[in-house]
Amino acid sequence: MFSEIKAPEGDRLLALMQAFRADPNPRKVDLGVGVYMDDSGTVPILSSVKIAEQRLLETETTKTYVGPLGDPTFAAAVQEMLLGASSPLLSSGRTRTIQTPGGSGALRIAADLIHANAPDATIWLSTPTWINHGPIHASAGNRARPYPYFNPADGSLDFDGMMACLDGDARPGDVVLLHACCHNPTGLDLGDDHWRELTALMARKALIPMIDCAYQGFGAGLDADVAGLRHMAEALPEVLIATSYSKNFGLYRERTGALTLIAKTPDHATAATAALGPIVRTSYSMPPSHGAQIVALIWTDPTLRQQWLEELAGMRDRIVGLRHRLRTTLEQHQIGRDFSFLTSQRGMFSYTGFTPDDIQTLRARHAIYIASDGRISIPGVNDRNIGYLCEQIAAVLSADKPR
Ligand code: LMR
């Protein structure tokens, strides 16, 4: 059997991560995979997480299975953080949350649920979208189609194009994959009015949102980042939401995530949640527990929650500060390019519009690692590398034809 296997191309981002790790160049700069790094270039463990881990170490009495759908305390924490403690959805009986191995696990379980129950639904994906969205749906057997989102001509949000496409081509029951905030890879988010207009269109056309919420708290704030999501969740009868705690709790390798579903009635929610059980059981049987326990503990302890909120604000503020510094430092090189996108886009990523040749040159000659679509992960910039980075970017871009 193995002799017949042709090695697949694999995920470009993960390949970039490996290539960066293997590069011996001491000046190398990692703007590739989306992880938050502090100024020393380390992906830190938050102090609130360390305290929670210590407490767990002292108080945990068993490592027995949690059950396929996970821990109800974690699920309640997820719902409060995501939908707001005073949301009518929390007590409606229509909202259910299961614990998953990361946000990707939630996306895959949702994709499997769609495939099993709405095999004719088309999944609409923004152009561009996270590199793994299409493959997850493809491997679940779902059909995906693109909707316009980013206008490469001027780097703006193509909201009219998005609306026209969904209005014209999407059919009732289709699923629209949206990014709650900090759109990956473009850093361009929908504004409040966009969310309202889109919600009205989705209600009129009976479309189901599947919202990927991987960066809550990294854009404008924990609540501000999900204002649009909350509006949509309260207005529509059926919603799927995948959340990740990799970024905002720094729990990347603990694989901590959740799938929340909102159904039209409590009975529908009960049936849909029951349908998730066998999907989970035949995929990974039970979710990992450690990260979810940390999140639940921090969220339910007022002191730890406050500490975490401050750490989250620290990460957010550093990203915003870096965006400004990167823009100013690049502008000082006066190469006649517009870098205002750096401060208008939000969250971990910026979409640079650098050409494949620029990206290749930056990597091959200067050990500057940028995703092949031109996305940069802002927290890879720090005090030590910003001068070198901007100098090399300016040199490479100046060698391009004027745009
Ligand atoms: C990213 O987009 O870089 C992150 O979400 C990490 C990943 O798994 O791709």
Alpha carbon nearest to ligand 1 atom 1, residue: 34
Provide the pLDDT for residue 402: 55
User: Is the CB of residue 216 less than 8 Å from the CB of residue 81?
Assistant: yes
Q: What is the pLDDT of residues 147-170, one digit of tens each?
A: 999 998 889 999 999 999 999 999
Q: Assess whether the C-beta atom of 34 lies below 6 angstroms from ligand 1.
A: yes
pLDDT at 103: 98
User: Cα of 107 to ligand 1 centre, how many Å?
Assistant: 13
Distance, CA of 354 to CA of 371 (rounded, Å)? 10
Best mutation site among 12, 108, 129, 132 for ligand 1, i.e. most ligand atoms within 8 A of its Cβ? Answer: 132
Chain position carrying tokens 């299975």: 65
pLDDT of residue 266: 98
Distance from C-alpha of 107 to C-alpha of 97, rounded to nearest angstrom: 13
Would you say the CB of residue 136 lies under 6 angstroms from ligand 1?
no
d(CA 246, CA 258): 11
Give 316-343 pLDDT, tens digit per residue. Answer: 999 999 999 999 999 999 999 999 999 9
Residue 136 zone, left/alpha/beta (φ > 0; ψ -120 to 50; rest)? alpha
Model confidence at 206, pLDDT cuts 50, 70, 90, reads: very high
276-281: which pairs have CB atoms within 8 A and are 24 or more residues apart? 276/68, 276/69, 276/98, 276/109, 276/113, 277/68, 277/69, 279/109, 279/112, 279/113, 279/116, 280/68, 280/69, 280/98, 280/100, 280/109, 281/68
Ligand 1, atom 2, lies closest to the CA of 34
Residue 399 near residue 355 (C-beta atoms within 8 A): no
Q: What is the pLDDT of residue 401?
A: 58
How many Å apart are CA 280 and CA 365, to the nearest integer? 46
Q: Which residues contact 102 (CB under 8 A, 6 or more apart)?
A: 244, 246, 255, 256, 257
The pTM for the full model equals 0.96
**Chain-wide mean pLDDT for the chain?**
96
Domains of the chain in start order, with CATH, are 11-46+305-396 (3.90.1150.10), 65-300 (3.40.640.10)
pLDDT tens figures, 94-103: 999 999 999 9
pLDDT at 122 over 60: yes
Percentage of the chain lying above the pLDDT 90 cut: 96
At residue 356, φ and ψ (nearest 5 deg) are -55, -35
Q: Which residues are catalytic?
A: 130, 212, 247
